[in-house]
Homo-oligomer: A and B are copies of this chain.
Amino acid sequence: MNSVRTDAAEATDLVPGLRAVLLTGDSARLAALLADLRPQALLGVWYELEAEERERVLSALPPEPAAELLSNLSSEEQPEILESMASLQVAEMLEELSPDDLADTLQALEAYDPERSREVRGFLDPATLAVADALTGYDEEEAGGLMTPEFISVRATMTAAQVLTFLRRAAPDAETIYYLYVVDADQRLKGVLSLRQLIVSPPEARVQEMMSPDIISIRTDTDQEEVARIMADYDLSVLPVLDDDDRLVGIITVDDVLDVVTEEATEDIHRMGGAPIDIDYVRANPFLLFRKRASWLVLLVVSMTLTFNVINHYEHILAEVVILAAFIPLLIGTGGNVGAQVATLVVRALATRELELRDYFRVLWKELKTGMLLGLAFGLFMTGYVFFFQSEPRIAVALGITMVLIALSANLVGASLPFLFRRLGIDPALTSSPGITTVMDVLGLLIYFRVVIWVLGPLLTGEAAPAP
């Protein structure tokens, strides 16, 4: 019996031994060593190896573990590594993949090297190929791209005994036998029968008596985030997928969805942090990272030049009261932090569907109040802090008022932008902490100088008295 160790640590331990065996060139010893590795440990080792070592490891693996390893690689890595293998060997390995993984891998190979793809397809079993091809063309991020066609369907008129006999034959090829789908002659879904129900029923019971006609199903074009949410909300372990004619075309199992939830969380976290980068960070080289990151940062830097224009415009005020410049980072930085904080809360609540578009005014009202509280607290702090360093009470008051207005507006901007993005059909996570910070830098400076002119106007030679 295995208890689980941390696979990454395990993998590192294994690499020197594996290298030693690779150096000897003893293929029997290599095969024996690889046979002892669990899939996840093998994947851990994989990423520590050089390209040439990877080719030799993959060639030494039997088709089944090789296929398992392959299915864990990204669609960029797959074709690269397949290039080094004979087409027949590739085909043997691909035969072991589940239809959804096979469809993905064939698509990746086709895009990378069409000639090679044709050759490999020639070696594949036509039946396998037909099933995989039926899956091609669905969006990878929708239910159609997640589902497998390897479900078990039965007819309503069958008896429990007949279903059990059928199951003994069909079980090896199915993704799950724990839920059997009842379909009519047109493949339309009529009900679901759990193996649990089947086991506790008498042998002569009919499927139509045992099945549950109340099924939650989705369409092939349902977004994968929605799939994950439905499975979590209804505590489902399998979800049937229907085409536009209500025909059952596939099922999605919860373990596939577990990966989706993690991927979607990564995407959201990257977007929120101003790094909306669809690459594997660990594998990306500095040039790729630079290209991907810079394209986003440039947008922020260019927007940020607005801060220069604002300050440049009010330069005469700073020239008169230089100390005012010293408060700029504190004021606009706090605005950015307040805004990023509330945006984070709102973006996540929108992503998990705790909030919907129609909740906007409720949120705005709540954040107006919260923003007033935050503004008053930080405004009082600011006035006290400034007065301590600067005996001129007018400056202290101006700074306090600025802080109130910045915190309040940051709170409202941070709460509103994610809703605006959702309304425009953009992922709210793209509001991003850096995005909010940039907006609040510009807005904060405008507020600051307007307040300063208003409160200190009479003291500034270049400014008239404030408007009434």
How many chain A residues sit at the interface, stated as a range, is: 35 or more
CA distance A4 to B352 in the complex (A): 17
- In the complex, chain B residues whose CB is within 8 Å of the CB of A255: 231-232, 235-237, 254
Beyond A255-B231, A345-B273, whether A338 also contacts B297 by CB under 8 A is yes
Q: How far is the CA of A290 from the CA of B3 in the complex (A)?
A: 45
Look across to chain B and name the residue whose beta carbon is closest to the beta carbon of A246.
B1
- Write out the residue numbers on chain B whose beta carbons fall within 8 Å of the beta carbon of A268: 265, 269
Query: Which residues of B lie under 8 Å from residue A294 when comparing CB positions?
Result: 373-374, 377
The answer to the question of A457 belonging to the interface, with a C-beta cut-off of 8 Å to chain B, is: no
Q: Using a CB-CB cutoff of 8 Å, which residues 375-422 of chain A contact chain B? A: 377-378, 381, 385, 389
Query: A88 CB to closest chain B CB, in angstroms?
Result: 28
Cα distance A214–B3 when bound, in Å? 9
Question: Which of A285, A307, A333: most chain B CB closer than 10 A?
Answer: A333
Other-chain contact of A275, B257, B315, B344, B437 (Cβ < 8 Å):
B344
Residue A16 interfacial (CB < 8 Å):
no
Contact A289 B370 (CB under 8 A): yes
Give chain B residues whose Cβ lies under 8 Å from the Cβ of A301: 330, 334, 337, 378, 381
Contact of A322 among B289, B305, B319, B373 (CB under 8 A): B319
The answer, yes or no, to whether A293 is at the interface (CB within 8 Å) is yes
Residues from chain B with a CB closer than 8 A to the CB of A7 are 233
B234 engages A337 (CB within 8 Å): no
B4 touches A218 (CB 8 A): yes
Q: In the complex, which residues of chain B have a beta carbon less than 8 angstroms from the beta carbon of A168?
A: 199-200
Question: Does any Cβ of B come within 8 Å of A217's Cβ?
Answer: yes
- A255 vs B189: C-alpha distance in the bound complex, in angstroms? 24
A7-B233, A232-B255, A304-B333 known; A340+B195 contact, CB < 8 A: no
Closest residue to A254 on the B side, CB-wise?
B254
Minimum distance in angstroms from A462 CB to a CB of chain B: 13
- Least distance between A388 CB and chain B CB atoms (Å): 10
Q: What is the chain B residue whose CB lies nearest that of A287?
A: B373
- Given the known inter-chain contacts A261-B261, A261-B262, please indicate yes or no for A290 contacting B349, CB distance below 8 A: no
**Pairs A–B under 8 Å by Cβ, sample size 8:** A171-B200, A195-B195, A272-B344, A275-B344, A281-B348, A308-B329, A325-B328, A336-B336
| Residue ranges of A at the interface with B (Cβ–Cβ < 8 Å) | 1-4, 7-9, 12, 39-40, 164, 167-168, 171-172, 177-178, 189-191, 195-196, 199-200, 213-219, 228, 230-237, 242, 253-255, 257-259, 261-262, 265-266, 268-270, 272-275, 277, 280-282, 285-287, 289-290, 293-294, 296-297, 300-301, 304-305, 307-308, 311-312, 315, 318-319, 322-323, 325-330, 332-334, 336-338, 340-349, 352-356, 358-359, 366-367, 369-370, 373-374, 377-378, 381, 385, 389, 433-434, 437-438, 441, 445
Given A171-B196, A275-B342, A297-B341, 5 further pairs, Cβ under 8 A: A3-B218, A237-B255, A254-B255, A282-B354, A282-B355
Question: Which 9 A-B pairs rank lowest in CB-CB distance, beginning with the nearest?
Answer: A273-B344, A265-B265, A433-B433, A311-B326, A286-B369, A307-B329, A325-B325, A290-B373, A337-B434
